[in-house]
Every structure is written in structure tokens, then in C-alpha cells.
Amino acid sequence: MSSAAAATATIRADDLSKRYGRRGAVDRLTFTVHAGQVCALLGPNGAGKTSTMRMLVGLSSPDSGSARIAGEPVSLGAPVLHRVGVLIDGPAFVPHLSGTGNLKLLWSAAKRAWPPPGLADALDLAGLGPAIDRKVKSYSMGMKQRLMLAQALMRVPDILILDEPANGLDPAEVRALREHLAALAEAGATVLISSHQLAEVQQLATHIVVMNRGRLIGTGPLAEVLGATTGTYRIRPDDLDRALAILRDMPGVAAAAARGEDVIVTAPTVPATALVNALVAAHVGVIAAAPAHQSLEDAYLAMTGGHDHAAR
Amino acid sequence: MLRVELATQLARVRTLIALAFLAAVPVLAGLLFASDAGHRNGTQTGLYGASPYSALNHTMASLEFIAPLLLPVIVALLAAAIASADRDWGILRYLYVAPVTRSRLLTAKFAAVAIATALALAVVLGAGFITGLAIFGSHPFHRIGSPNLTSTGALTRALAASGYTLLCMLSVAAIAFTLGLLLPRGAEALAASVAFIVAASILNGQSALRAVAVALPVHYWQNWVGLFEPDAATGLATGSLVQVATVAVCAAACLVVLRRRDPAA
């Protein structure tokens, strides 16, 4: 991928809105994903993630606002989609054709000569082996998902829009996919994924966009979102009960709570060293102490209010 | 895209079975009347009565037998599948993001329907001719109660009859295709198409409903038979116009449906 191409490989949603009948799916959503970023589109079921992705690849027309890829407006069958690898609404194939037959079909539909440039790498990632020549109707869900990913990746896209790409994959396959996407982003590709697997997203994404009930409720670099809890520390003492009592009595400590063998202390105005010194002075050993970053799950649940099913 | 449509539809087992059914009828009929080779088929008149006289006689008799119901049903099956299979399988969205434009997709589908319709007709004609050649031999085209047709005359009329039937079958294909785009599933489109063919055939048989029947494409499907009768064939021009009009109306409806429909809706 050329640097010039990569420089323009942005995904941009600008004030996007979409309704299906009386139901609002997406409401004035704005965000941008730049080249080199892996952006995770997060939200509860029914939050509008897939509707957003459909608009971004032209499968659905926004009622208002615009979707642009690499600066070009996206519509159904738009030429800019040649640059985009897509997995949306799950895998879909012609059941009586083989895996290879299906890949050929989807590739040649856009008047391109077989084979695609990234076929070998994509098939390697899919790991289907001799099954690639079997009829797809005999495939398991995971095999179909891997074949669909191969379809998205074989064109060596500089933009990837993947809806729940890790669905049906086993842990080793999830890791291989993560490494592949990270490598693509490092090479300048723009990646937008939606997923409910937050631990996985936390390992891959550089940025997140969080939606709920069709609206944007949070966006930014992942590190910033997770690091928003300045003044919170995780301390592992050798005597949990005494440590809790000491820390709770300290001026400036807003909260101290046990989590497993650790104490999570919220003390925005107190330096970490002061907390540790207080424990040591009281003859409580400190095994470890570090700033407590929240997990993506914590941040996500805090943002969405813990609603797992926005549509219900 | 045309290759995609043909590869996905013509390689299906059900398509091959349907085409085999079409071929089986002339073959079975030929075997059934093998003992009458060179003689009139019982007391039958017209093309049926003359079917054991030659390969071409058998071919045209087979077409007359199949064209009112079995051929349109198979054509409807193929056309409805071409219209709806990619949506049923879910690959329509992946074709659009391939990317393929709506107009290119529709053009390829129209071409695929035309080819599939011609193929279905060719199977009937081919099976009829090959069976006739094997069982009844190559002889002048016989007409009961009239002089035989010359080779050139018979061939010309057979070609005209085939062309006319192709046009008629394209009209039923257009109806099935439109239903395939309109209805949520291919099976529903096929059921609705078959229901239309059967209902239209029943209506066409009711003399009291002639005013309705003349507006139906079905009404004109057998007009080509007159080409092989002593009197001049009638109604071919009107029949052709009705078929062309049906195809045009359906094509326009398809364009509107495809342009207005949100594929993700």
C-alpha cells in the first residue's frame, strides 16, 4: 500500500442518522477513523453498530448526514469499495460452491482477474487446508467465518470494516486474526471493527467509538479512555484488613475497597508514595502498587450504564 | 457478473433436475409411441396426431405438449431463483461491496434469465428432436389431412414457432423474476409464479371470461401451432406484442424495485 493511499484511507461518519420505520437506529453519529488506527465500534445489542457499518459500506442510505471512505461519498456499489475489505451481518456464501469457488465468485464479480494479490496470506489466516475445495454447505460456522475473513483480506485492502470478526473463532484463531489486523494497521491500513469481546478489543484497538441507542456516547484513543481514572491505585498489601482500615482513615482518600487480594484506592489528591509510606509506617508490607487502569469492560459498562440490550 | 449468475444457478442440482424433467417428457413420449412410427397417433389430430411421422413432427408435438404448463413452471423456477437466490443466501450484500453496481447486477440478471429461458426451451427442442430422430427418423414434416411441408418450409416454421415460444416464455420469466425481487424469499416468488400460471390457464379456458383472458400473456402461448396448419396462423403479432409489453412492464417494475429498495432493510 502506498503512503499516499494510506494517507487518505479514512473512514468518516458525519452526522449520520438512520431510521427504520418508527425505530431510530442511528442518531447524528459523527466519528473519524484515520490510517493506522484500529477503531472498535462498541455498544450494546441494538445500539446501531451494524446499521452504522451498513451505511459506511453503502448497503444502507443514511436519512441524513454522510458516510465517506478515503474522502469519497459511499453509495451502493461505489468504486471506492474496491479498497475496502468487508465482513458484515455474518458470513454468506453460495452453499453448493466450494470455498475457492465462492472466493472466485466474489472476486470476479467486480471484473477482477483471479487470483487476488493477498490470496495466499488470506488463505493462510483462514487455515481451511483441503476443506477450501469442499462445498461450503458442509462448513462449520467457524469455517464460514474464516472463509469470509479470507474474502475480506485477500484483496489487500487499505480499509477494513469488520462486523464481529471474531465470531465463531477459537482462541488461537482470534489471536492470529488480532495479529494480522494489527500488522495491517501498522502498515497504514484503517481498521474499523465491531465486537462484544471487550477483552479482545482491548488488546487490538487503538481507538474506540461507543454507541448506545443510536447515539455516540464516547470516543477517543483507548489509552485515554482507560486512563481517565487518574488518582486510582491498585495496592497489594500483606495484610488486607489492616491496609483497608489504614487507608480509609487517611485524609484525602475518597474510597478504598478490596478486590481479591488487592485494595483499590481512590485518592486524587494523595501521591501514591504517601499511600505506600502510610502502610509501611504501620508495619503493613506492600507487595505491589501501581496506578489502577480500568478495564475496557469497566469503562464500557460505565459509559453505557451497564445496558446490555439497548433495543429491549 | 453474468458468469457469476450462470455459475451459481446452472450448477445447482435442482436446475439440472428441472431441465432433466423437461427432457424426459419428449423422450418418454417418443418411447410410448415408438410402435406407431410412420403412422398416425391413434385418432389424434394436429401436431399430436402426426407426431410419429418424423423427428421434427415429434419435436413440435413435444413443444405443444410442454409449452402450456411444464415449460413455464420450469422457466419460472429458474427466473425466480436468479432474482432471489443471492438475497436468500445473503451474498447480495457481499456482491454490492465487491463492489457491483445495481445497474450491472440487474443487467447480468436479465441476461441470465434470458439465457436460462432459452436453455430450457432448447432442452425441450433438443430432446424432442434427438428422440424423434432415433425413434421416428428424418422424414418430411407430415400434416394430417394436408400435404407434407417441404424441408425449408418446415424448418422455417419450426424456427418461427421456437422464437415465438421463447418470447412467450420470456414473459413468464419476467413475471417470475419481478416476483423474485418483490417477495422476501425465492420460494414465495416461485409459488406465486406457479399460482399465476395455473390461474391464468384456468381463466383462459373460460369462454365467459374472454375479456379478461385476452389481457393475459398465457392466452397467446399456443398461437404458434397455427403455423403448421393449412390455414394461416393468426394472433402471432398480437401475442408477440402482449409478451413484449409484459416483459417491458416487468423490467420497469424491477428497475423501480431495485433502485428504491434499501438492501439492508
Closest CA to A88 of A55, A112, A40, A125: A55
Alpha-carbon distances, residue B110 vs A55, B7, B40, B74, B115 (angstroms)? 27, 15, 42, 17, 9
Contacts of B262 in chain A (CB under 8 A): 59-61
Percent of chain A with pLDDT over 70: 94
Cα gap B188→A110, rounded to integer Å: 30
Say yes or no to pLDDT of A20 above 90. Answer: no
Pairwise CB contact (< 8 Å): B96 & A76 = yes
Say yes or no to pLDDT of A246 above 70. Answer: yes
Q: Which of B36-50, B55-69, B81-95, B210-224 has the lowest mean pLDDT?
A: B36-50
Say yes or no to pLDDT of A3 above 80. Answer: no
Q: Which of the residues B5, B14, B97, B259 would you substitute to probe the A interface, choosing the one with the greatest number of A C-beta atoms within 10 Å?
A: B97
Identify the pLDDT of residue A227.
66
Contacts of B3 in chain A (CB under 8 A): 108
Residue A20 contacts B, CB cutoff 8 Å: yes
Determine the angle formed by the axes of helices A99-108 and A141-153, rounding to 10 degrees.
30
CB proximity list for B67: less than 8 A, separation 6 or greater: B124, B165, B168, B169, B221, B222
CA distance A83 to chain B (A): 10
Closest CA to B32 of B7, B69, B58: B58
C-alpha cell at A66: 454522510
For A58-93, write each residue's pLDDT tens digit: 999 999 999 999 999 999 999 999 999 999 999 999
Cα gap B131→A19, rounded to integer Å: 60
Identify the pLDDT of residue A298.
75
Q: Which of A145-149, A290-294, B241-245 has the lowest mean pLDDT?
A: A290-294
Say yes or no to pLDDT of A145 above 70. Answer: yes
Q: In the structure, what pLDDT confidence band is assigned to residue A164 with cuts at 50, 70 and 90?
A: very high
Q: Which residue of A has its CA nearest to B259?
A: A76
Nearest to A109 among B93, B100, B262 (CB): B100
Residues B77 and A79: beta-carbon distance below 8 Å: no
CA atoms within 13 A on the CB side of B211: 1
Pairwise CB contact (< 8 Å): A59 & B3 = no
Q: What is the dihedral of CA B209, B212, B213, B218, to 10 degrees?
A: -140
Pairwise CB contact (< 8 Å): B91 & A94 = yes
Say yes or no to pLDDT of A223 above 90. Answer: no
Pairwise CB contact (< 8 Å): B8 & A97 = yes
Say yes or no to pLDDT of B166 above 60. Answer: yes
Strand, coil or helix: A17: strand
Pairwise CB contact (< 8 Å): B97 & A94 = no
For A49-58, write each residue's pLDDT tens digit: 999 999 999 9
Say yes or no to pLDDT of A124 above 80. Answer: yes
Identify the pLDDT of residue B4.
82
Say yes or no to pLDDT of A36 above 90. Answer: yes
Residue A81 contacts B, CB cutoff 8 Å: yes
Mean pLDDT of the residues in chain A: 88
Cα gap B82→B111, rounded to integer Å: 10
Identify the pLDDT of residue A5.
46
Q: Pick the residue with more confidence: B6 or A26?
A: A26
Alpha-carbon distances, residue A104 vs A119, A155, A163, A250, A272 (angstroms)? 10, 12, 22, 68, 59
Pairwise CB contact (< 8 Å): B97 & A58 = yes
Residue type at position A92? A
Taking residues A147-157, report their average pLDDT. 94
Say yes or no to pLDDT of A299 above 80. Answer: no
Contacts of B94 in chain A (CB under 8 A): 86, 92, 106, 151
CB atoms within 10 A of CB B42: 10
Residue A108 contacts B, CB cutoff 8 Å: yes
Pairwise CB contact (< 8 Å): B94 & A60 = no
Mean pLDDT of the residues in chain B: 91
Residue type at position A235? I
C-alpha cell at A173: 484463531
Alpha-carbon distances, residue A80 vs A110, A151, A207, A218, A245 (angstroms)? 12, 17, 23, 28, 62
